[in-house]
Structure 1
Amino acid sequence: MRRTRTRNTPTEQESAILKAAAEEVALVGVGRLSMDVVARQAGVSRSTLYRRFPTRDALITELGRQTFDFAMARLQTVAIDSGPQQAAVAAFTEGVRLLTGEPVMRRFLQLDREFTATTEMVEEARLFLVSAATAMAKALRAAGAGMPDDELLAVAEIHIRLAASLVQVSSDVLDVGDDEAVARYARTYLAPLVH
C-alpha cells in the first residue's frame, strides 16, 4: 500500500520514517531493511529520507537507540517502593516482557534467529546489555539494595543475560509467556541475589 506524500515538518517526517523502519524491521529484520520500502511506507521521497538519515546505518542506529531508550525507561520504572528483592522480581519480569513482546527489540538482539550475528549486531547487543544492567542496577539501588556497586551491577547483568537466554532458547523449566511463572522464577532464584 502506498501512502500519500505529505508536506509534514522535518520532525514529523523523521517520526514517520522511524515508525516505518520499525515496522519493516519487525517484519523482515535489520539485515533486510530496505530504504525504498521505508520511504514508501513513511510517505516521503527517497531524497527526504536520505536528508533525514544520510545512510541506512544512520537510520538503523537511530531506530536502535530509540528502541533501547524505550526499554531502559521501562526497566527503570519497576516497583522500587517494595524493596530491592521485589524490585528485582519486577525488573526481571518486565525484562522478559520486553524481550518477548517487542518485535523490533527481538530483531535487534537477534532473538528470532540462530546464534549468528554480524559484528554490528553483536556490538548493539553488548551496548544493550550494558545499558539494561546499568538501568536495572539503578532501579535496585533506588529500591534499597545496599550491596556494593560492582556486585549490584554483576547481579543486574546476570538477570539481563538470563532473561535474554530464556527468551531465545525455550526451556521446560520456565514458560516465558506466563508472567506469573516468570515472577515466581525470579522470586525463587534471582531475588535472593539482591541484598
Structure 2
Amino acid sequence: MPAPRDDAILDAARHVFEQYGARRATVDDVAATAGVSRSTLYRSYPGKEALLAAVVQRETDTFFDELDEVAAGLPPRQALVECFVRGISLLRQVPVLGRLAVTEPAVVTGTPGHPPLLRRHTDRVAATLRRAGAALPDAELEQAAEILVRLASTYLVDPEGSLDLADPAAVGAWADRWLVPLLP
C-alpha cells in the first residue's frame, strides 16, 4: 500500500497527465501540484516514466478490482457480459486513461514487442473469469481473456463505431451476442 505522500503524488500526477498528456507533463508540474519538492518526488519516482507507469498501474488495478467485484457470485457468461458493460463504462469515466489512450495509446495498451500491460491485463481478466467458474483449460482461458483485453483496448483508443458505448443495454446485448460464445 502506498504511503499517504505517495498517494498525493500519484493523485497529482494523474491530474497533470489528464490535463497535459504524458508528453507535455513535467515532473515540475507534478511536484507543484502535489505540493512537494522535486527531490521528494524523485525519492519515490526516479523520473516521469516511472511516475506515469505508477499512475497507469494504480488506475488499471482499481479498474480490474472493480470488475472483480462485479463478477463476484455470477456465473462465467453473465460475469463476462456484466464486466464488459461495466468495463466500457469505467473506461469512459477514467479521464487519465482516456486522455492517454488518445495522446499516447502505447502507454495504456503497451507497445508492439513490449506487451507487459497486455500480459498483466490478460492475467487479471483470466483470473476473474476463473473465479466466476469458467471451465476452459488454462491456455484457452488465457486466449479468450487476451481477445477481451485487445477488444477493450480498441474501444479505449477509438470509441467511435457502430456500438453505442454510452448505452449499457446495447453494450450488454452486444457482449451477449459476440463475447459469450468465447466461454462454452
Q: By the TM > 0.5 criterion, same fold?
A: yes
Distance 1:174 1:55, change over 3 A: same
* SS of equivalent to 1:31: helix
The residue aligned with 2:30 is 38
Deviation, 1:163, is 1.8
Distance in 1 (CA, whole Å) between partners of 2:95 and 2:155 is 16
Structure 2 vs 1, CA of residues 130 and 75 (structure 1 numbering), >3 Å: closer, same or farther? Answer: farther
- For 2:53, the aligned partner's letter is T
Other-structure match for 2:168: 179
- Alignment correspondent of 1:145: 134
Indicate conservation of the 8 Å contact 2:67/2:86, yes or no: yes
TM-score (norm 2): 0.85
Q: CA deviation at 1:168?
A: 2.6
Once the two structures are TM-superposed, the CA of residue 86 in structure 1 deviates from its matched residue by 0.4
In the TM superposition, residue 103 of structure 1 has moved relative to its aligned partner by 1.6
Change in 2 beyond 3 A, CA 1:39/1:171: closer
Q: Residue in 1 aligned with 2:101?
A: 111
Structure 1 residues 12 and 51, CA gap change in structure 2 (3 angstroms): same
- Equivalences for residues 57-68 of structure 1 within 5 A: 57-68=49-60
CA contact (8 A) 1:95 1:160 kept: no
- Tell me the matched-pair count: 181
Distance 2:88 2:11 in 1: 23
8 Å CA contact 1:77–1:139 kept in 2: the answer is: no
The corresponding residue for 1:4 is: none
Q: Deviations over 1:113-132 (max 9, x none)?
A: 48x758x9527x83222222
Residues of 2 paired with 1:172 and 1:44: CA distance?
Answer: 43
Question: 2:138 corresponds to which letter in structure 1?
Answer: D
Counterparts in 2 of 1:7-22, with a 5 A limit? 11-22=3-14
* Alpha-carbon distance change, 183 to 31 in structure 1, aligned in 2, over 3 angstroms: same
d(CA) in 2 for partners of 1:117 and 1:143?
Answer: 30
1:84 aligns with 2:73: no
Where structure 1 has 5 or more consecutive residues not aligned to the other structure, the ranges are 1-9
User: Which of the residues 29, 36, 59 maps onto 2:21?
Assistant: 29
Query: Whole-Å Cα distance in 2 between the matches of residues 121 and 40 of structure 1?
Result: 29
> Judging changes above 3 Å, is the alpha-carbon distance between structure 1 residues 183 and 140 closer, same or farther for their aligned structure 2 residues?
same
Higher helix share: 2
Q: Take 1:134 and 1:121, find their aligned partners in 2: how far apart are those partners?
A: 15
* Residue of 31, 44, 52 corresponding to 2:44: 52
Q: CA deviation at 1:185?
A: 0.6
The answer on 1:168 being equivalent to 2:160 is no
- The one-letter code matched in structure 2 to 1:157 is E
CA contact (8 A) 2:76 2:134 kept: yes
In the alignment, which residue of structure 1 is the partner of 2:91?
99
Distance 1:38 1:170 in 2: 29
